[in-house]
Amino acid sequence: MENNVRNYLVVTGGYWAFTVTDGAIRMLVVLYFHLLGYSPLEVAMLFLFYEFFGIVTNMVGGWLGARIGLNLTMHIGMGLQVVALSLLTVPDAWLSVPYVMVAQALSGIAKDLNKMSAKASVKMLAGDGGESKLFRWVAGLTGSKNALKGAGFFVGAALLEWIGFRGALAVLAGMLLAVLAVTALLLPRGVGKMKSKPKFTQVFSNTSAINWLSAARFFLFGSRDVWFVVGLPVFLYSVLGWSFTEVGGFIALWVIGYGMVQASAPRLIRRSHHGRGPGGGTARLWAFILAAFPVAMALALQYGLDPALVIVTGLVLFGVVFAINSAVHSYLILAYSDFDKVSMNVGFYYMANAGGRLAGTVLSGLVYQTQGITGCLWWSAAFVLAAAVLSFRLPEIESNAEPRDDAAHV
């Protein structure tokens, strides 16, 4: 038990370090390439492969983790991030759109390998502590990650100002390389590795609860990104007249607050007492609650209420409820998974997550251009309702659930 807690803290620490670099590199790329004179469309294209390869990585990464162990896939992700950071230190003349897209593709692969490995490891390390413990651990890991990604936005901007683009990249790469070495020494080998080598076709789950949850996850994250990625920052800058600093600072604070709420989800929903975690009914309830916010915001804008008040207040409330939805989903994917298949199930689930983000990102630009921020909000509401309807197929979690017998080899 003591070793499991220690290993959980090591995994969490490694995930934290990686997450800071993930937020920082995004801010560095956006700001620096804007300074180089790249158009907004060109800057957006730099992240296209980052999102696309999230889908591919989650599909392959879970299968790979089951074959070689989650600790190894986590360290591969860290190593790829160091390579991605190093690739961007070349002279400006080399920094073409295709070159940077390749570097960002590596960063996207690294991020999803690291995320899948860390979250799947929690299932193993929580052991027989019951579903309440599992919910607390995964909520703490996920919530702290999102808060630190917001902090990474600040770190990236501050390092860019203090020591320049290449100096910032060197500091981030050196820090992550040191963390990689420490976690490689401290973590046991073979976490999440299956006794038999799974076939690649086993990536696609044959468990109905996981398939329905993954479908709901697709629409949940699409509902956020359909207005958050492009529509919101453009609206704040071009319509409300905010500066770049105000836009970036507000979004970073939102992400930090979102992470804090997510980490507090077990206490907020009060359903994890006596060894029981949330189930399908909890997912449905919070999805329907979430749908009310984009609907209310869209109606308020259509009736001419102050757009700044509507957007800022609505975004804060949306973030609180969205964080609880996300925490419940992150718990359920682990609770529904067998121990020996957890890495593949988590990979499949986050493949759906990445697909939702990609769809939301593309729709955010398209819908905002054709229908404005109000149209983005209506699309968001439709996506949330789709997630809520899909959640009707999610089962409840058995009280005081025990780990399955096939975990003995872990």
CA distance 7 to 186: 8
Assign 402 a pLDDT band (cuts: 50, 70, 90). very low
Number of helices (H), then strands (E), in the chain? 13, 0
Residue pLDDT, tens place only, 13-48 = 888 888 889 888 887 887 788 778 776 567 667 777
Residue pLDDT, tens place only, 378-399 = 999 999 999 999 999 999 876 5
Does the pLDDT of residue 129 top 60, yes or no?
Answer: no
pTM reported for the whole predicted model: 0.70
- 267 burial (CB, 10 Å; 0-12 / 13-18 / 19+) is exposed
Alpha-carbon 243 to chain mean position:
27
Query: In this structure, is residue 201 part of a structural domain?
Result: no
pLDDT of res. 48: 79
Within 13 Å and on the Cβ side, how many CA atoms surround 175?
A: 19
Does the pLDDT of residue 274 top 80, yes or no?
Answer: no
Pick from 87, 137, 108: which is nearest to 18 by CA?
108
Tokens at residue 211, please?
A: 């398939």
Pick from 357, 381, 410: which is nearest to 57 by CA?
357
CB atoms within 10 A of CB 265: 27
More confident residue, 263 or 333: 333
Does the pLDDT of residue 234 top 50, yes or no?
Answer: yes
Query: In this structure, is residue 194 part of a structural domain?
Result: no
Residue range 277-300: mean pLDDT, rounded: 93
Query: In this structure, is residue 195 part of a structural domain?
Result: no
CATH for 392: 1.20.1250.20
Does the pLDDT of residue 363 top 70, yes or no?
Answer: yes
Does the pLDDT of residue 365 top 60, yes or no?
Answer: yes
CA distance 144 to 125: 18
Residue with the two structure tokens 């994250």: 221
3-state secondary structure of 315: helix
Query: In this structure, is residue 196 part of a structural domain?
Result: no
Query: In this structure, is residue 409 part of a structural domain?
Result: no
**What average pLDDT does the chain have?**
79
Give how many domains the chain has, as a whole number: 1
pLDDT of res. 403: 36
- The residue range of the domain holding 330 is 2-189+207-397
Query: In this structure, is residue 347 part of a structural domain?
Result: yes
Query: In this structure, is residue 403 part of a structural domain?
Result: no
Query: In this structure, is residue 337 part of a structural domain?
Result: yes
Pick from 173, 154, 163: which is nearest to 107 by CA?
173
